[in-house]
Each structure stands twice: as structure tokens, then as C-alpha cells.
Homo-oligomer: A and B are copies of this chain.
Amino acid sequence: MKKIFVFLMFCSVLSLHAQLRNSDVYEITEMNYSSVRNEIHIPDVEGYQTLKCDFHIHSIFSDGNVWPDVRVSEAWQDGLDAIAITDHIEYRPKKEILKGDLNESYKIAKKAGDAIGFMVIKGAEITRSKPLGHLNALFINDAMPLDVEDPLQAIEEALRQGAFIMWNHPGWPDDKSTFYPVHDELIKAGKIHGVEVFNYMEYYPVVFDWCKQMNLAFMSNSDIHDPIHTSYGIENNVRPMTLVLAKERTVESIKEALFAKRSIAYFHGMLVGKPEHLKGLLKASLKIRIINEKQAEITNISDITYRATAGSNLYILPAQKTILFSIPQPETVFTVKNCYTGNEENLTISASDFDIW
């Protein structure tokens, strides 16, 4: 018996089912989100590929709630390019009942990533109370030697393995983003390379300035413990991500870019980064069509809604949409409200930066 099955869809991304097998069992393939990858439209910037990455992720091997390979399928589905598995070295509440050394979660995720060409980075979270707080060691080879009493020694070991050291959620758990002497020392010694400005649902405006003043990479990560869609839903583009401006689509290139501080923190419509990176991204996102000497159409080809002001005018450039625009004087300066270069400091861009005149 062959039968075409016809149905109500729940979402425009879902597709039609057709039962093609010679059987008496019917499948509703268009319900299955897990086989479809969202595409995030964020353009490449000035010769670099803009890779969407999440460098802070937990599995059941520390205090997360899912098996490590789930993290790969979630991130593939969400349109990311790479993730790091960063289970806590020290905090493993299930370790009495769940066997596995500190490298186990990476191994499981890496195998799942390799099967579908998805990049998985080996990491670990070095976990202490404040003042030091939590730090992720990324691009390590072996997490076992990081399991030492002195966290500074763990950092040294990670650095010995070539790690990029990220200071995690400086404002957590006390709602204060405090810069302690230990951070000053580590940063001055080149032993911290980036800081999270977004973590899960939180962000830390004063840290925008730290990154700027001390040339640290801007980082934005989910720090996810539960299934990701249970927290963020399953729309495009909603989890925090670090946009990495990489020479190539490889783990090595991501590492090179992070050490070169070519990253933009992105979450919830907000972008935080260096002016040159944000300006490059903005320009790559906007396509202008001149209508006549007074008017133009601006199409925002990205998934990021930009909001700018110039004087008392507000300009909203919705993601994937076009607006009509009175061509401004070349010397007009726009302040881009959702692009931050520091705490209370926004990207500014001149009309003459665009190829209209």
C-alpha cells in the first residue's frame, strides 16, 4: 500500500512528508528538526571568514545534563561552525556514579563532530571561587594535568599545552564584575587572552572596557548545562556566540584568530568588539541601491538588526529587510546603538564610509 500523506505544518521551515516506502507505516519527516541545520547570515569581514563559535559548554561529565555528542548535534542544528567542550576539572557531581577521565567528554563529542565535519575544540574549565573565578583553557591536548590544587599551576600547564585562556563570566555569582589583582598579574603576564562579556543570559558592561583597554578578545558563550533549546528555543541565531574572524575554516585558524584578538561577542542583537571589526561587519551587512539624488534603499543582508542614530533621527535596519533612506550629507556621523566598542561607547561610522559619494 502506497499513500501520500498530507498535512498541516507547524513552521515555515518544515517540509512536506511523503511516504514513499512500500509499507503500512507512515513517517512524518517534516516534523524532525534534528536533521536540518539553520543558516546564520553574518557576512565575512574584510577577507576573513566569520565563524560562529561557542567556547563554553558542559556535558554530563561535569555538571551538565546531556551526553557530550548532543552538544555537537545541537550546535550543528543551530548553524554554528565550532564548539569547545569545557567540562569543569574540579566540579563533577556525578563522578561517583559516572566513570570517565577528564578527556572523555571531548572524545565522545569529537567523534560525533568528525562524522559530520563539525569542528570540536578540546577545552576545560578551571574552577575556583573569587577572586580568581573560573577560566577556560581552550585548545589543550590533555585535561588530566590541569587537575591540580593550585589553579595558577593549572593555568601554567594549560599554557604549556598552547592554550588560549579565557576568563569566564566575571560578574558571576555576586553580580559584581570585579577586577582583582590576580587578574591584573595574569593579564600583564599574557596569561589571560580573552574575557566573556556575554555568558548565558548575563552580560557585563564594564568588561567591554577591560577588553578594549587591555586588548583581550571579546568572548560570548552559552555556558550551557541543560539541553540548549530548552533554554533558548530553537530559532535561528539566539544563543550567545563568539564571531571569530578566521583565515580558514579550521581549528588552527580559529586559534590563530583568537590569539590575534579578531573576535566579536554577539548575543541578543548586541555586538561588542573592536571598532575596525564592527565597522567591517556593518559595511559587509549593508547593500545600498541609489534611487535618485535624494533617496536610496538599504538592504541589510545579515540576521542582525542594526539601530543607529544621527542627531535626533533614529534608523532601524531590520535583519534581512530593506528600508528607504534619505541620502545624508557625507559628513553625517551615525552612532550604532547595538554595536559596542566599550562600556557606554558605541561604534560610530561616517556616511562617507559607504560607497555612495
Q: Are A25 and B172 in contact (CB under 8 A)?
A: yes
A90 within 8 Å of B (CB atoms): no
Q: Can you give 12 contacting A-B residue pairs, CB < 8 Å?
A: A6-B6, A8-B15, A8-B305, A9-B9, A12-B235, A25-B175, A25-B203, A32-B231, A36-B321, A37-B324, A39-B321, A230-B234
Residues of B near A309 (CB, < 8 A) are 18, 20
CA distance A35 to B37 in the complex (A): 26
A25 x B238 contact (CB < 8 A): no
**In contact, A171 and B70 (Cβ under 8 angstroms):** no
Q: Within A222-241, which residues are at the interface with B (CB < 8 Å)? A: 226-235, 237-238
* A8 touching B9, Cβ below 8 Å: yes
Assess whether A26 is in contact with B98, with CB atoms less than 8 Å apart: no
Q: How far is the CB of A319 from chain B (nearest CB, A)?
A: 7
In the complex where A12-B11, A12-B235, A37-B323 touch, is A26 in contact with B312 (Cβ < 8 A)? no
Contact between B314 and A29, CB atoms less than 8 A apart: yes
Contact with B along A111-144 (1 / 0, CB 8 A): 0000011000000000000000000000000000
Taking a contact as CB atoms closer than 8 A, the residue among B4, B26, B202 that contacts A202 in the complex is B26
Q: Which residues of B are found within 8 Å of A12, using beta-carbon distances? A: 8-11, 235, 319
Say whether B33 contacts A268, CB under 8 Å.
no
Q: Count the copies.
A: 4
A11 to B9 Cα, complex, angstroms: 7
Across the interface, do A117 and B238 meet the contact criterion of CB distance under 8 Å?
Answer: no
Q: Is the CB of A20 within 8 A of B77?
A: no
> Is there a chain B Cβ closer than 8 Å to A269's Cβ?
yes
Contact with B along A285-313 (1 / 0, CB 8 A): 00001011001010101000101010011
Per-residue CB contact flags for chain A residues 15-26 toward chain B (1 = under 8 Å, else 0) read 110101111111
A60 at the interface (CB under 8 A from B): yes
* A15 in contact with B229 (CB, 8 Å): no
CB atoms of A6 and B4 under 8 A apart:
yes
Chain B binder among A44-52, A61-69, A158-166, A256-264: A61-69
Closest to A178 in B: B24
Chain B's closest residue to A298 (CB) is: B37
Please tell me the number of chain A residues within 8 Å of chain B, measured between CB atoms.
100
Q: How far is the CB of A60 from chain B (nearest CB, A)?
A: 6
Which residues of B are found within 8 Å of A319, using beta-carbon distances?
A: 12-13
**Contact across chains for B6 and A16 when beta carbons are under 8 A apart:** yes
Complex CA–CA separation, A116 to B67 (angstroms):
25
Q: Determine whether the beta carbon of B324 is less than 8 Å from that of A235.
A: no
- Determine whether A34 belongs to the interface, using a CB cutoff of 8 Å to chain B: yes
A354 on the interface (CB 8 Å rule)?
no
Distance between Cα atoms of A20 and B203 in the complex (Å): 14
A28 within 8 A of B: yes
Min CB–CB distance A62 → chain B (angstroms): 12
Query: Which B residues are in CB contact (< 8 Å) with A234?
Result: 229-230, 233-234
A21 and B175 contact, CB distance less than 8 A? yes
Q: Is A253 an interface residue (CB 8 A)?
A: no
Minimal beta-carbon separation of A250 from chain B (angstroms): 14
Are A231 and B33 in contact, with the CB atoms below 8 A?
yes
Given that A37-B297, A70-B65 are known contacts, is A24 also in contact with B226, CB under 8 Å in the complex?
no
